[in-house]
């Protein structure tokens, strides 16, 4: 019997489904959707983790802690470090400067130095050139982003070429001085988890620091950031850290807490295993009893002279077509769900990079398992199919 004819017979059978087959179809759609969801949502977290690790320069910074008395020792150790993995050393400085748009408000922008490899790519406008040039996020805020809705961000891309007045306060929250900056360019802050970070030239940064009078040398007993090292890659952070620790220097390296990502992965795998076992039980039950519902058709095929292998092929194709329908429907439903959830998540700045992925491979592996079970049970039950159909022909 030709394959084309088998498939045509199979398609015809899909037009008229019994209640049992309809229930089975719905169960398979639900199971396949449940397979897609953990893989799809796991990718949100792994995607975020990967982005943070690879893009966020904070994880290539090493802070050296000590009192003022440790300064000379640390300086000497750093001078003896021979490899060229340190891009920049920030001495006796806070890594950030807080700049307030309003003296009365507690909301602030964070100003950072322009360090090669540590400044995001300018997507609109120009790079820093002049003393009071500033690069800002395309969509920006001076509010803490964890509480922020994306719709509340201000579009600074429109303000390229315009100025922004920033105020600098002392530790008593008193205004020390104000400075006007020219917004020369903007960058996409979605991947940096910080919509209030702006960049200025190194010299300008030092100048503002000195005006703010943040010389830490005088306070000799307080443990503070004596140096901040900017490392060229994540791979070299460990090497430098080991070198410093071997020289009795206190270091601090921001690390991504990947525990939550691993927990989600383990949970996903656990759910998968439960789903697959449940599904296999359902499938075994379905395939074992399939022929009981189909015995009239089987008896008819036998009476018409179809061989057992032809009958197996017909039933096999009917089943895999039925489950293929479930596969397509589950993928369509998942895409629909993905669109809705992504639209919802992207309102929140913390989930701007969220991407729910459609993982076809686990679904097709599951489909292959079904095909295998289908075939195995047909082969096992063929004798019973045969004898039952003989009996049923008589009843026809």
360 near another protein (CB under 8 A): no
Point out which residues pair with 165 in neighbouring strands.
180
Structure tokens given for 124 = 């609109």
Alpha carbon distances (Å) from 222 to 92, 209, 217, 247, 254: 13, 19, 10, 21, 21
Rounded least distance, CB 392 to another protein, Å: 10
Which of the ranges 62-70, 155-163, 226-234, 292-300 carries the binding residues for another protein, by CB under 8 A?
A: 292-300
Beta strand segments in the chain, E? 61-66, 86-91, 97-99, 109-113, 124-125, 133-137, 139-140, 154-155, 163-169, 175-187, 197-200, 224-231, 250-252
Q: Phi and psi at residue 271, in whole multiples of 5°?
A: -60, -40
The single residue among 300, 325, 333, 371 that binds another protein, judged by CB under 8 A, is 300
Compute the least distance from the CB of residue 262 to another protein, in Å.
51
Report the alpha-carbon distance of residue 31 to residue 278 in Å, rounded.
9
Residue selected from 89, 120, 274, 303 as contacting another protein according to rule CB under 8 A = 303
Q: Choose, by CB under 8 A, the member of 41, 59, 191, 306 that binds another protein.
A: 306
Q: How far is the CB of 364 from another protein (least distance, A)?
A: 28
Q: How far apart are the first and last CA of the chain?
A: 25
Q: Least distance from C-beta 313 to another protein, angstroms? A: 10
Q: With binding defined as CB under 8 A, does residue 19 bind another protein?
A: no
Least Å distance, CB 298 to another protein, is 12
CA separation for the pair 319, 289 (Å, rounded): 13
Q: For another protein, which is the closer residue by CB, 91 or 310?
A: 310
380 sits near another protein (criterion: CB under 8 A): no
CB of 38 to another protein, least distance (A): 37
CB atoms within 10 A of CB 47: 15
Q: Nearest approach, Cβ of 383 to another protein (angstroms)?
A: 11
Please list the residues that pair with 199 across neighbouring strands. 112, 135
Among 91, 152, 308, 355, binds another protein (CB under 8 A): 308
Residue pair 182/134 in contact by the 8 Å Cβ criterion? yes
225 binds another protein (CB under 8 A): no
Among 3, 15, 217, 218, binds another protein (CB under 8 A): 15
302 binds another protein (CB under 8 A): yes
Catalog residues that contact another protein under the rule CB under 8 A: 1-2, 5, 9, 12-13, 15-16, 296-297, 300, 302-308, 310, 386, 390, 393-396
């Amino acid at each position: 019997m030709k394959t084309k004819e088998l498939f045509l017979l199979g398609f015809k059978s899909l037009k008229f489904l019994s209640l049992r087959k309809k229930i089975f179809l719905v169960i398979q759609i639900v199971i396949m959707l449940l397979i897609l969801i953990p893989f799809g949502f796991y990718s949100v977290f792994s995607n975020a983790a990967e982005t943070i690790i690879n893009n966020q320069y904070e994880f290539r910074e090493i802070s050296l802690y000590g009192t003022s008395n440790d300064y000379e020792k640390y300086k000497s150790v750093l001078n003896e470090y021979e490899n060229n993995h340190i891009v920049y050393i920030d001495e006796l400085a806070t890594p950030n400067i807080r700049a307030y748009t309003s003296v009365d408000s507690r909301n602030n922008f964070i100003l950072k130095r322009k360090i090669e490899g540590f400044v995001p790519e300018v997507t609109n406008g120009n790079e820093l050139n002049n003393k009071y040039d500033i690069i800002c996020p395309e969509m920006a805020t001076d509010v803490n982003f964890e509480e922020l809705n994306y719709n509340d961000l201000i579009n600074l891309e429109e303000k390229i070429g315009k100025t922004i007045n920033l105020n600098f306060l002392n530790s008593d929250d008193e205004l020390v001085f104000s400075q006007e900056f020219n917004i020369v360019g903007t960058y996409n802050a979605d991947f940096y988890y910080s919509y209030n970070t702006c960049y200025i030239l190194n010299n300008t940064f030092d100048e503002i620091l000195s005006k703010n009078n943040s010389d830490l040398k005088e306070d000799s007993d307080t443990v503070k950031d004596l140096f901040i090292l900017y490392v060229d890659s994540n791979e070299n952070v460990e090497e430098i850290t080991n070198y410093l620790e071997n020289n009795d220097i206190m270091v601090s390296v921001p690390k991504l807490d990947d525990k939550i990502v691993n927990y989600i992965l383990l949970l996903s795998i656990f759910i998968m295993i439960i789903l697959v076992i449940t599904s296999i039980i359902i499938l075994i039950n379905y395939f074992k009893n399939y022929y009981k519902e189909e015995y009239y058709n089987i008896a008819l095929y036998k009476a018409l002279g179809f061989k057992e292998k032809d009958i197996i092929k017909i039933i096999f194709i009917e089943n895999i077509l039925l489950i293929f329908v479930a596969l397509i429907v589950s993928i369509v439903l998942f895409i629909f769900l993905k669109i809705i959830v992504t639209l919802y998540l992207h309102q929140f700045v913390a989930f701007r990079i969220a991407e729910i992925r459609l993982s076809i491979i686990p679904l097709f592996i599951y489909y292959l398992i079904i095909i295998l079970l289908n075939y195995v049970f047909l082969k096992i039950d063929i004798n019973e199919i045969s004898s039952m159909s003989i009996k049923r022909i008589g009843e026809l």
